[in-house]
Amino acid sequence: MNEEAGASGPPARAGLADDERRLGWLMLGPALLYIGGFVGVPFVLAVLLSFSDATVGDPHIHRLVGLVNYRRAIAQPQFWTALGNSLWITFLTLLALAVLATALSELLARPFRLKRLVQTLIILPWAMPVSLAAVAWLWLLDSTFSPLDWLFRRIHLLGPGGWFGPGLHFYYLGRTGLAIASIVTVNVWRMLPLATLIVLAGRMSIPRELFDQAQIDGAGFFRVLLRISIPALMPVLTVALLFAALMVFGDMATVALLTRGGPGTATQVLPYWAFLQGINGGDLSGGAAVALFMLPVLAGVAIAALRLAYRSQQS
Amino acid sequence: MRRGLRTVAFYCGLAAFTLFSVFPGIWMVLTVFKRNTDLYSIAANPFWFHPGPTVRHLLFLFTGTHFLRFALNSLLIGACVVPITLLLSVPAAYALARLTGRWGERSGMVLFLVYLIPPTLLFLPMYQVVTFLGLANTLWALVLVYPTITVPFCTWLLLGFFKSIPRDLDEAAMIDGCSRFEAFRRAVLPLALPGIGACVVFAFSLQLSDYIYAATFVTATGAMPVSVGVPTELIRGDVFFWQGLMAADAIVAIPLMLAYGLLFERLVSGFQSAETAAAGS
């Protein structure tokens, strides 16, 4: 737009447009430089590191050793467990989030009493730092003192004669399937507020006339949901799920504190495996190689995001 | 009749979601005031106190641990990171909304794509950068690194706010003799204040929530923020100081929850304009 003004206008206007562009870069520049410096440089270093033989004791990159670190990474069975778990946990979390965020935003779009209070309470999970939230769940899902177990015992689902057998406890974090389900639950719990905020914003942007018209036509609740709300919400739902996917796939605090990857290595995920190798194990280069395996997935997400942005520009 | 049923279903749904969100919080607050004999009893009703509640563990958190140090560290880091974030992302968002041409838009895209590279991919080389700068084991390392998390998100959020402010406003101010920058400062910035408020809260909670950078860079107790300090100090091997852990969690989460609650409507309208801006540009 500035270019047009510069080309067609008199010289004075061209000067103004140039000034504006300079100001534009002056205002955008610091953010770009900061991010470029503190993300770009480490990113290049991450790639170099993964090809080197650096350790925590000797963190300098002396020589490149080729694909050795990658080969060593994929030779470990834990790596494949971690990769599979990362993908599986992220997928299940997104699936649940898509349903729950749509439902919750549908509820919050209506007026009701005590709305402010409900809004405030619903945002609680997002207000907790991830690590502290994981600790809170660790206590909630404690193997012996979980209040959930107590509730299940009270309604006779657990314990002698209960549906789930005579045992007094579920051991949520001690069995592989339940442990994965617990991690997914914590992720959904934590991401639901942000996803709902984003979807709710999209829900409020749907023109009222669409709903009014549907009501005149006599469409029921589910018909309106399927025909109007969900199609109109697809773009924002995608944005919400993208954010959630990045935060869940890249998160290690939940697993690190909740299960420490256990039982055994059954709930290991890529970021935590990279951390264990790189920092605790002292193998910087090996950890970097493991972490870089996240890149193809993230690149896929990035391409999806760009295509989405492009498509919305086209329409 | 149908109407009544729907109202019941509506409130049941709402109650279920609210319970899901706050249940760990309720359990957390109950735990804080429990005595050890009560806490470690399988038979007793966990939702009541037998015998009565105690504040001993709450006091222990403040007197027997470094919690105050961690909280101060987190506040200090936040007090540095939030202004840095605003200084970088407010002008950047305005430039992206109004000033830059095609290349500006592309570099804006790069800024957002950076958000797609998670800290868990960058923490190992970031550790080297921090060591190289001589900042390892200090909280300044975190002050330096956290804007990489907060700036892209806040720029995206603010971009929506700026785009929702009509261009005529800047132009009217410029016709009145303001320069572009003055128009931005005097006419546009005051209207973007709700957006900036939202950014302050988001930037603060994003930096507070980080775990991996803090766990990697800082091993000295005195420099730890809450997210790493609390689990490190109150989980000693297999011994968990549950009441203290829960108290620390509640003390951090409840004020932030209230801040988000106050901002809820504004956040929704902010996201709304961010989304229409993304769709309309």
What is the residue type of B185?
A: R
> Which residues of A fall within a CB distance of 8 Å from B276?
205
Radius of gyration in angstroms for the set of CA atoms belonging to chain A, rounded to a whole number: 25
Question: By the 8 A CB rule, do B195 and B158 touch?
Answer: yes
Nearest to A24 by CA among B166, B181, B195: B181
Confidence label for B198 from pLDDT (cuts 50, 70 and 90): confident
pLDDT in tens, B244-259: 999 999 999 999 999 9
| DSSP code, position A12 | H
Rounded to a whole number of angstroms, the distance between the first and last alpha carbons of chain A is 20
CATH no. for B63-280: 1.10.3720.10
A206 in reach of chain B (CB within 8 A):
no
Domain boundaries, chain A: 1-50, 51-314
To the nearest whole angstrom, how far is the Cα of A84 from the nearest Cα of chain B? 17
Output the average pLDDT for chain A. Answer: 85
> Which residues of A fall within a CB distance of 8 Å from B215?
256, 275, 279
Average pLDDT over residues B174-197: 85
B219 in reach of chain A (CB within 8 A):
no
Largest CA distance in chain A: 90
Q: Which residue, among B5, B102, B124, B153, would best test binding to A if mutated, counting the most A CBs under 10 Å from its CB?
A: B124
Average pLDDT over residues A291-315: 75
Question: By the 8 A CB rule, do B114 and B152 touch?
Answer: yes
Domain boundaries, chain B: 1-54, 63-280
Q: Helix, strand or coil for residue B235? A: strand
Average pLDDT over residues B256-272: 86
Interface of A with B in 158-197 (CB under 8 A): 168, 189, 192-193, 197
pLDDT in tens, B83-125: 999 999 999 999 888 887 777 777 777 777 787 788 888 988 8
Share of chain A above pLDDT 70, in %: 92
Dihedral, CA of residue B74, residue B79, residue B85 and residue B88, to nearest 10: -150
Interface of B with A in 89-108 (CB under 8 A): 89, 91-92, 94-96, 98-101, 104, 107-108
CB atoms within 10 A of CB A241: 23
pTM of the model: 0.89
Question: In CATH, which superfamily holds the domain spanning A51-314?
Answer: MetI-like (1.10.3720.10)
> Which residues of B fall within a CB distance of 8 Å from A125?
21, 24
Query: How far is it, in rounded angstroms, from Cα B122 to Cα A298?
Result: 13
- pLDDT at site B268: 86
**What are the structure tokens assigned to B189, written together?**
């910035």
Dihedral of CA B77/B141/A190/A132: which sign?
Answer: negative
Query: How far is it, in rounded angstroms, from Cα B93 to Cα B150?
Result: 13
Most confident of A14-18, A221-225, B240-244: B240-244
Q: Helix, strand or coil for residue A52? A: strand
Question: By the 8 A CB rule, do B207 and B78 touch?
Answer: yes
Interface of B with A in 147-186 (CB under 8 A): 147-148, 151-152, 155, 180-181
